[in-house]
Amino acid sequence: MKTPYKNIYSILKLNRFIVLSVVLCSMGCSVFAIWMAISTRNNALNSAFAINTDGSIIPLKLVTQKENFQVEAFAHLELFHTYFYNIDANSFKKNLEKALWLGNSSVDNLYRQKKAEGVYNRLLQYSLVQKVLTIDSQLEEREDSYHFRTTVIFEINRGSIVDTYELVSTGKLLIVDRHFPHNPHGLLITDYFENSLRKVPSQN
């Protein structure tokens, strides 16, 4: 006798096979997902965070970025102060042009002020040599901005007379696009100000 229906046992067997396959596949995916979550969590706890001095947790990537920023910031400040203050009659134009790439209008205004006061004319007239001896900078982050304080020791050679001076300057650092070769660190000095200048007594 013919029937329009297939063998019910065959259908039930196929359904059971499909259900078991889906269940096993789901269990395998769940186990793999749980293992990945635990592995990621352990790796994150072991290597993705650092402890700040006040006990707070800091992402290690952020710590690395800040460390890299400080290295570049100090290099930028040293480069600027070298260009701006290490000058003589032959190199001052070239050095000052390079220094102006590293700062904003506050640096340019200081340059124009020195020029109006005849600083660079005296450099040419008397063949003075102004040489930077040391550059020491401190960097502080305040309200999402970076403030610096730099102490520069330089000497002015007047031929038979050599005088040494200490200059203290302050300002801020602004992150900008890198511009090779003019501004390789991608930083810009703003609010630049010469706080004090004093003659260092001779050791002799």
> Is the pTM for the entire model greater than 0.85?
no
The answer to the question of residue 54 being in a domain is: no
The answer to the question of residue 9 being in a domain is: no
Kindly write down the DSSP assignment for every residue of 65-132, as one continuous string: HHHHHHHHHHHHHHHHHHHHHSEETTTHHHHHHHHHTTB-HHHHHHHHHHHHTTHHHHHHHTT-EEEE
The answer to the question of residue 69 being in a domain is: yes
CA distance 103 to 187: 8
CA distance 183 to 181: 6
Q: What is the pLDDT of residue 6?
A: 56
Answer for the pair 155, 162: CB distance below 8 angstroms, yes or no: yes
Task: Tell me the backbone φ, ψ of residue 175, rounded to 5 degrees.
Answer: -80, 125
> In this structure, what CATH number is given to the domain that contains residue 171?
3.10.450.230
The answer to the question of residue 3 being in a domain is: no
CA distance 95 to 117: 19
* pLDDT tens digits, one per residue of 135-153: 999 999 888 889 999 999 9
The answer to the question of residue 52 being in a domain is: no
The answer to the question of residue 41 being in a domain is: no
With a CB cutoff of 8 Å and minimum separation 6, the contacts of 66 are: none
The answer to the question of residue 86 being in a domain is: yes
Q: Stretch 28-39: mean pLDDT, rounded?
A: 83
Determine the structural domain holding residue 65 and report its residue range.
61-199
The answer to the question of residue 88 being in a domain is: yes
| 61: region left, alpha or beta (phi > 0 left; psi from -120 to 50 alpha) | alpha
Pairing of strands 49-51, 57-59: antiparallel
* Counted domains in the chain: 1
* pLDDT tens digits, one per residue of 85-131: 999 999 999 999 999 999 999 999 999 999 999 999 999 999 999 99
Answer for the pair 158, 151: CB distance below 8 angstroms, yes or no: no
* pLDDT tens digits, one per residue of 50-65: 555 555 545 555 556 6
Burial class (CB in 10 A: 0-12, 13-18, 19+), 52: exposed
Q: What is the distance in angstroms between the CA of the first residue and the CA of the last residue of the chain?
A: 127
